[in-house]
Chain A
Amino acid sequence: DAKTTQPPSMDCAEGRAANLPCNHSTISGNEYVYWYRQIHSQGPQYIIHGLKNNETNEMASLIITEDRKSSTLILPHATLRDTAVYYCIVRVATRGYGGSQGNLIFGKGTKLSVKP
């Protein structure tokens, strides 16, 4: 299974862009990169996902390198409410029904602290 590596913590100044890196050097061609975040004592929240191309939505942008071995989540104008643990997840390839294949595996993530 592909695994991800993220820094355990990062700081960002309020109003600046937060760039959260993720390494997934063993990713397979049909595996997606997902990003979730978890604000303290709440359930995780979906942010964005992508396969090959860069993606953007109202919350963030996802930049995936051409070789797909790493990606960066960008929060363009971080606010104090963006302080959370951010999870980068590579979803294992689909293999049909049954088993845990295809489920999202949440590691320890990156704790982002946005400071005033």
Chain B
Amino acid sequence: DGGITQSPKYLFRKEGQNVTLSCEQNLNHDAMYWYRQDPGQGLRLIYYSQIVNDFQKGDIAEGYSVSREKKESFPLTVTSAQKNPTAFYLCASSKALLAVLNTGELFFGEGSRLTVL
């Protein structure tokens, strides 16, 4: 079945370490997104990509990096520069960037929960 796969589901990291979260989709979607969610809060956009080899900063990009070398994959690296990385990270995709779609929906993965020890 088509969908979005995030891994790992749970991840623990020591302070000062970089960590990379995987996001793969087989929906043939052009656009992909990374969101961060803190307990009891809504989702905040970290980075998004509308096409291969292109990505843009969202609202809270500091301390994060991404790459989009393949259409199917949009990994997120949480660097040591991110001061408060403990959070629930969600990857999503859409057929095209929502900014150029009159309608359309986001498809989300199951999320990755990162805890910094």
**Which residues on A are within 8 Å of B, measured CB to CB?**
32, 34, 36, 41-46, 49, 87, 91, 94-109
Contact = CB atoms under 8 A, between A and B. Distances in A.
Contacts of A100: 45, 48, 56, 58-59
A96 B42 contact: no
Interface string B86-109: 001010100001111111011111
Interface residues of B, number: 31
Given A41-B88, A42-B111, A103-B58, A97 B105 contact: no
B110 interface: yes
Given A44-B43, A91-B98, A108-B42, A98 B56 contact: yes
Secondary structure class of chain B's binding surface, majority of residues: mixed
B99 A99 contact: yes
Given A46-B107, A87-B42, A108-B41, A103 B100 contact: no
A72 B21 CA distance: 36
Secondary structure class of chain A's binding surface, majority of residues: loop
A68 to B, nearest CB: 16
Nearest to B90: A43
Which 10 A-B pairs rank lowest in CB-CB distance, beginning with the nearest? A102-B99, A43-B108, A106-B43, A46-B105, A106-B42, A107-B42, A102-B98, A44-B108, A108-B42, A43-B90
A43 B111 contact: yes
Contacts of B111: 41-43
Given A44-B106, A94-B102, A103 B92 contact: no
B105 A94 contact: no
